[in-house]
């Protein structure tokens, strides 16, 4: 080949590592190639293949269709992080039960209803309820055991086949099957240890709002009638059969006559869609009473008072306490309704329940006053004052209503239940005295504020179940709807662990020291907005003082014009806004206090 036609040689580049690094890598590679490390790697590979193959077989084989009463139910196992059981009742919705914990969840779905068998099932008079319960429970457990047997066999088979295909060894395939069997035993042990027979008493419902009472039922009925998990599941199947047997409409919801049902709403914030939701819930659950813990309006103006006229469309009493977005005019607008009951440091007997309510002492209707200087300490101090006044009167109410939870918590030990709102986030806690503090979310989706975030604020309200005999809370259903009034709903059932637990008065403690800049004013005259920048003009001809830390005391006293300075001023020298005027058209300012200079 001619010399000119040769291609130029490209020099090879080699990365040379420093001697210590090269030595360490070589030593690590040598250790990994030892027989012991190879044996450990093979064992880990067999365990991984066995577990994955067993899980795949468990999910594939864990499916069975079984007859349960007049229905056909499809049982299946599904992978899950937190376990549990889901009972799907299309098109009514689904019930989610926290029956167990583990990586596998159970799902039961009604696939078919045999109408003739359902009619005979409902109209049969020769079979008692106990016999019907035993028959349904036997069929259901037969289906569950059949599903588990198929799942175990499929898991062992899949683990064996996976090991045989990957390792090409009978011994390792059998070892993988043994690993799968050990994994299933561990899952079964975790489910057995975490099994909760009472989980059906506290279901979470997802589906159409109108079907919720029929599917979930009444809290008191669930507690009294369902005494065991076996009977609970069988009764639920009977209820589903009656639901599916209806041709024109769903069966009528018949609540327990000894249960008093109260709908708790709060923070509607001038959202007209909230009235439709409250009306639907009150009608579906056949509520005896509606309680509103404030913030019915958004700014509390006279033009908004017309919004309260929809209260008269409810057929039950509407109990209301004033919130920090409600003016005195809002309170009067509610009181004008024929079924409106306004509580403001008053107690009334409604549906044989003694209810005490207090309105919020603040009035902060817009963003310019939202950051008011009245904090939780001041609200708790005001609540302690009212609680002491109520205690001195000898009244022990069944329910206390207060818009702000900080004020409501001050009634701890004086009542079994305190209902509040204000925070737009649902929460409940049992205080050390035995009083339950129940904070409701926003039933109006926070009004227009609900659109300030990426997702609309959900609409939240609750149905509380009381015993008419003891006047104690037995349980409650938390309803949560998508923001802007979507038609689907999620309902969570909660039961009071000990409804008749004692309520003890709290230990005496000094009232918290107010941190407000106006601690000497009564609660009715607390400021409604944070004091703004100083309005006192700076004396002419004086230069701006340097930072305080650089001034000596005589120079500081001569040059400082800072309001409320802790070094040279005794009182504030500018005006601030006071409580609403009697005419409702504005707010009268307090008289400015003359500054006192410390020399």
Phi, psi angle pair for 462, to nearest 5° = -140, 155
**Measured distance CA(374)–CA(530) in Å, rounded:** 9
pLDDT of residue 339: 94
What pLDDT digit, counting tens, does each position of 522-574 carry? 555 555 444 444 444 444 444 444 444 444 444 444 455 555 555 554 333 33
pLDDT of residue 260: 94
pLDDT of residue 114: 72
pLDDT of residue 544: 47
Class of domain 255-495: alpha beta
**Measured distance CA(495)–CA(117) in Å, rounded:** 35
Domain extents in the chain: 55-200+227-234, 255-495, 531-599
Q: What Å distances lie between residue 259 and 146, 288, 464, CA to CA?
A: 41, 10, 10
In contact, 268 and 445? CB cutoff 8 Å = no
* β-strand pairing of 318-320 with 340-342: parallel
pLDDT of residue 232: 46
Provide the 10 A C-beta neighbour count for residue 83. Answer: 20
For the stretch 521-524, contacts whose Cβ atoms lie closer than 8 Å and that sit 24 or more positions apart, written own/partner, are: 523/361, 523/378, 523/382, 523/385, 524/361, 524/579
pLDDT of residue 384: 93
Question: Residue-wise over 420-447: b if at least 16 C-beta within 10 A, else e?
Answer: bbbbbebeeeeeebbbbbbbbbbbbbbb
pLDDT of residue 548: 44
pLDDT of residue 562: 54
The 3 state secondary structure assigned to 270-310 is CCCHHHHHHHHHHHHCCCCEEEECCCCCCCCCHHHHHHHHH
Displacement of CA 339 from its chain's centroid (Å)? 30
In contact, 173 and 164? CB cutoff 8 Å = yes
**Measured distance CA(327)–CA(345) in Å, rounded:** 16
Threshold 0.75, pTM exceeds = no
What pLDDT digit, counting tens, does each position of 236-281 carry? 445 544 544 443 344 445 567 888 999 999 999 888 888 988 998 8
Per-residue pLDDT of the chain (599 residues; tens, 9 = 90+): 455 556 566 555 555 545 565 566 666 666 666 777 778 888 888 899 989 988 888 888 888 888 887 788 888 998 888 888 888 876 566 778 888 888 889 888 888 777 677 667 666 656 666 677 777 778 888 888 899 899 999 999 999 999 888 888 888 889 989 999 999 899 888 888 888 877 767 777 776 555 566 556 655 454 444 334 344 444 544 554 454 444 334 444 556 788 899 999 999 988 888 898 899 889 888 899 999 999 999 888 888 899 999 999 999 999 999 999 999 999 999 999 999 999 999 999 999 999 999 999 988 876 555 445 678 888 999 999 999 999 999 999 999 999 999 999 999 999 999 999 998 899 999 999 999 999 999 998 766 554 455 566 788 999 999 999 999 999 998 988 865 444 456 888 888 888 999 999 887 655 555 444 444 455 555 554 444 444 444 444 444 444 444 444 444 444 555 555 555 543 333 333 344 444 333 433 433 344 444 44
Strand-pair partners of 357: 346, 401
């Amino acid at each position: 080949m001619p010399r000119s036609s040769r291609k130029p040689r490209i020099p090879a580049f080699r990365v040379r590592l420093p001697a210590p690094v090269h030595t360490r890598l070589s030593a690590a590679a040598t250790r990994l190639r030892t027989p012991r490390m190879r044996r450990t790697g093979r064992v880990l590979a067999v365990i991984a293949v066995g577990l994955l193959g067993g899980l795949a077989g468990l999910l594939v084989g864990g499916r069975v269709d079984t007859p349960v009463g007049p229905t056909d139910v499809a049982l299946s196992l599904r992978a899950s992080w937190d376990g549990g059981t889901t009972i799907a009742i299309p098109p009514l919705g689904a019930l989610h039960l926290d029956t167990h914990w583990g990586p596998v969840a159970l799902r039961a779905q009604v696939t078919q209803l045999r109408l003739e068998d359902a009619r005979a099932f409902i109209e049969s008079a020769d079979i008692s309820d106990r016999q019907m319960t035993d028959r349904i429970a036997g069929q259901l457990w037969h289906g569950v055991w059949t599903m588990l047997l198929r799942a175990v066999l499929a898991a062992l088979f899949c683990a064996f086949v996976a090991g045989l295909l990957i390792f090409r060894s009978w011994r390792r395939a059998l070892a993988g099957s043994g690993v799968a069997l050990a994994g299933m035993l561990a899952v079964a042990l975790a489910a057995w240890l975490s099994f909760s027979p009472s989980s059906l008493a506290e279901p979470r419902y997802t589906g159409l709002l109108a079907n919720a009472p029929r599917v979930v039922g009444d809290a008191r009925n669930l507690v009294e009638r369902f005494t065991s998990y076996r009977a609970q599941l069988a009764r639920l199947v009977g209820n589903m059969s009656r639901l599916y047997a209806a041709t024109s409409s769903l069966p009528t919801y018949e609540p327990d006559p000894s249960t008093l049902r109260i709908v708790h709403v709060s923070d509607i914030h001038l959202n007209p869609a909230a009235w439709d939701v409250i009306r639907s819930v009150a009608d579906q659950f056949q509520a005896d009473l509606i309680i509103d813990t404030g913030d019915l309006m958004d700014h509390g103006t006279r033009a908004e008072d017309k919004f309260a006229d929809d209260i008269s469309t409810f057929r039950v009493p509407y109990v209301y306490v004033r919130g920090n977005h409600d003016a005195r005019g809002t309170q009067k607008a509610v009181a004008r309704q024929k079924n409106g009951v306004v509580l403001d440091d008053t107690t009334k007997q409604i549906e044989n329940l003694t209810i005490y309510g207090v309105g919020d002492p603040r009035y902060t209707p817009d963003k310019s006053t939202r950051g008011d200087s009245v904090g939780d300490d001041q609200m708790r101090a005001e609540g302690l004052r009212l609680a002491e006044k109520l205690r001195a009167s000898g009244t022990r109410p069944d329910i206390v209503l207060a818009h702000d939870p900080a004020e409501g918590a001050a009634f701890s030990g004086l009542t079994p239940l305190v209902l509040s709102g204000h925070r737009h986030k649902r929460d409940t806690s049992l205080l050390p005295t035995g009083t339950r503090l129940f904070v409701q979310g926003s039933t109006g989706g926070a009004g227009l504020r609900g659109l300030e975030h990426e997702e609309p604020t959900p609409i939240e309200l609750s149905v509380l179940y009381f015993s008419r005999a003891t006047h104690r809370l037995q349980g409650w259903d938390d309803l949560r709807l998508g923001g802007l009034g979507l038609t689907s709903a999620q309902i969570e059932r909660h039961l009071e662990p000990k409804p008749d637990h004692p309520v003890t008065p709290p230990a005496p403690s000094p009232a918290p020291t107010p941190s407000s800049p106006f601690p000497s004013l009564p609660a009715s005259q607390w400021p409604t907005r944070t004091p703004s920048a100083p309005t006192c003009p700076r004396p002419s001809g004086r230069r701006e003082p340097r930072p305080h830390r650089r001034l000596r005391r005589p120079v500081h006293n001569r040059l400082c014009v800072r309001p409320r300075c802790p070094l040279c001023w005794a009182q504030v020298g500018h005006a601030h806004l006071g409580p609403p005027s009697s005419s409702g058209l504005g707010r009268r300012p307090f008289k400015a206090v003359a500054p006192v200079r410390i020399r």
